[in-house]
Structure 1
Amino acid sequence: MKILLSLLLALTAWVAYAGESPHSYWEPAIAAFEAADRTNPPPPHAVLFIGSSSIEHWKSVAADFPDVQVINRGFGGSVLSDSTYFADRIIKPYHPRAIVLYAGDNDIYDGHSAQQLRDDFAAFVHKVRTFDPGVAIAFVSIKPSMARKNLLPQIRQANERVRAYAATQTNVTYIDVFTPMLGADGQPQWKWFVADGLHMNRTGYALWINLLKPWVDTHGRRVPR
C-alpha cells in the first residue's frame, strides 16, 4: 500500500509539473526582480537591458552607459520567449524609453530554427508595443562564441532573419556584434570570452559598449522640453 501511495504521489507531482508553463522555471527570478523593485524602485523611462546571461552578467552596464539611466533585467539561461512571457512584469512597469534585448543564443542551442527565432522576436516587439507603442527596441545579434562554434551556420541564419525583420519595422534596430567578434578567418575568437568559451570577459563587453553606445545614447537621453 505504501509503495502504491508513493507511486500515486509521484504521478500526481509529475502531472502537475507537466501542466506548468515552460516559463514557470523563471518564476523565482522574476519574483526577485519584483521584490527588488518594491525595495528600490527603478527610474521610469530608463533604458532597459533584458535577455539572457550576456545581459545578466553585465553588472557594470549602468556605469558603462553613464549618460543614460539603465535597468538590467537579464536572467541567464532564458530564451527569447521568456522575456515576452514576463513582459507585463519586467518591462511594462518601467515604461522604458528604449529596450536593448540580447536573446536567441539559448534558443539556437535548444534547437529552435532561424524562422522560429525571427517569429519569437516579432512576438516580443508586438507584446511590448501593446503597452508602449513608440518604444525603441534594439536586438543585439547572437554572438559567435567558442562554446557554440558548431552552431555558427544556424546563428548566422537566425541573425539574418532578425535583421531582415527589423528592417521592416519602425524604430526597431538590429545591432551587429556577430561580425565584429569574428576573426579574419571568419571564426569565433577566444579573446572575447572567459574560460567557458560562452560568457564574455571585459574585452568582449568593451566591444559591445562601443557598438551599442551610439544607439543607447541617442534613444536613451531624455528629450529636452
Structure 2
Amino acid sequence: MPRIADRRSASRFLLAGLLLWVLVACASQPPGSLDREPQIPAEVSNAEWAQDMQRFAAQDQAQPPPRDAVLFVGSSSIRLWDSLAQDFPDAVVINRGFGGSEVRDSTWYADRIVYPYHPSTVVLYAGDNDLANGRTAEQVGQDTATFIDRVHKRLPSARIVIISTKPSPSRAHLLEAQRQANALVQRAAQQRGAVFVDVFTPMLDAQGQPRESLFIQDRLHMNASGYALWKQLLAPYVH
C-alpha cells in the first residue's frame, strides 16, 4: 500500500508541474495570441496595389533597407508623409504607405511590406478609406485585429502601433462611424498588446468638427500642421 500511495503522490506532483509549465508558457505569449490562426483577407480592395508592391521591391533591390527599423504602413496619410525621416531623426524609418488602401490591404501584403524588413516597430494608419468605401465599423475593427494577429504571429517581439482614423472635413459625414470604428480598434489593440494612438480627438475643433487648419485644399489630406500634430502624438513610440 505505501508504494501505491507513493506512486499516486508522484503522479500528482508531475501533474502539478505540468500545469505550472503550461501556465508559464501561456503567460509568455503576446496577449490575444493563443489559439488564434490569423487569416489572410479573401481579397484586396484594389488589384492595382500590385504595382505599388513592384515599386517597393525595386526600391528594396536598389537600396536594401536596414533591419530593426520603424516601419510605417497604410494609406495615403502615410504615403504622403514626406517629412517622416526629418520628423523622427533619432529613428530609422521606412515608409511603405500606398494611397487609397484599406486595412485589409496591408494585411494581405504583409509578406511583401512588413516581414522582409524585420522591423522593431510597425505603425499602421488605415481605416477611413474603408468606411468611405462602404465597410462597417465592425469590419474595420476586425480587419485591424487580423492585421495585429498576422504581424505578431511572424514578428512576436515587434511593437505594433495603431493610429486611429483621422476626422477629415471632406468626410465629416463619417464622424460617427469613425468614432465607432476607433472604439473597436482601440479594444482590439489593447486585447492584443498593441499600442493605440488617438489622433481623432486632437484633430477636432471646439464644436467637435474636423479642424480645417490641419488639411490641404482637398480637405482630405493633411498639411504640415497636421503632420506636426501626428509627430507629437507618435513621438513616444517611434525610436
| Cα deviation code 1:12-46 (max 9, x no counterpart) | xxxxxxxx864422001111100100001111110
> Hey, what does 1:12 align to over in structure 2?
none
> Post-superposition, which runs of at least 4 consecutive aligned residues in structure 1 deviate over 3 A?
20-23
2:217 matched to 1:195? Answer: yes
State the alpha-carbon separation in 2 of the partners of residues 97 and 210 from structure 1. 20
Aligned length in residues: 197
Q: What stretches of structure 1 of length at least 5 have no aligned partner?
A: 1-19, 218-225
> Hey, what does 2:68 align to over in structure 1?
45
> Hey, what does 1:184 align to over in structure 2?
206
State the alpha-carbon separation in 1 of the partners of residues 61 and 161 from structure 2. 27
> Hey, what does 1:89 align to over in structure 2?
112
> Hey, what does 2:129 align to over in structure 1?
106
> Hey, what does 2:10 align to over in structure 1?
none
Range 193-202 or range 160-169, more displaced? 160-169
Change (3 A) 1:166 1:21: closer
State the alpha-carbon separation in 1 of the partners of residues 85 and 154 from structure 2. 25
Range 128-137 or range 70-79, more displaced? 128-137
| Cα deviation code 1:172-202 (max 9, x no counterpart) | 0110000000001111111000000000000
Calculate the aligned-residue CA RMSD, in Å: 1.1
State the alpha-carbon separation in 2 of the partners of residues 166 and 128 from structure 1. 12
| Cα deviation code 1:91-110 (max 9, x no counterpart) | 11000000110000100101
State the alpha-carbon separation in 2 of the partners of residues 195 and 181 from structure 1. 16
Identity of aligned residues (%): 51
State the alpha-carbon separation in 1 of the partners of residues 45 and 174 from structure 2. 24
State the alpha-carbon separation in 2 of the partners of residues 215 and 71 from structure 1. 15
2:94 matched to 1:71? Answer: yes
State the alpha-carbon separation in 2 of the partners of residues 68 and 150 from structure 1. 36
Paired amino acid for 1:197:
R
TM-score, normalised on structure 1? 0.85
SS at match of 1:196: coil
State the alpha-carbon separation in 1 of the partners of residues 64 and 129 from structure 2. 30
Paired amino acid for 2:117:
Y
TM-score, normalised on structure 2? 0.80
- Equivalences for 1:1-225 in 2 at 5 Å? 22-170=45-193, 172-217=194-239
Contact residue 45 and residue 102 of structure 2 kept, 8 A: no
Contact residue 130 and residue 140 of structure 2 kept, 8 A: yes
State the alpha-carbon separation in 1 of the partners of residues 157 and 91 from structure 2. 18
State the alpha-carbon separation in 1 of the partners of residues 211 and 91 from structure 2. 31
Give the number of the structure whose alpha-carbon radius of gyration is greater: 2
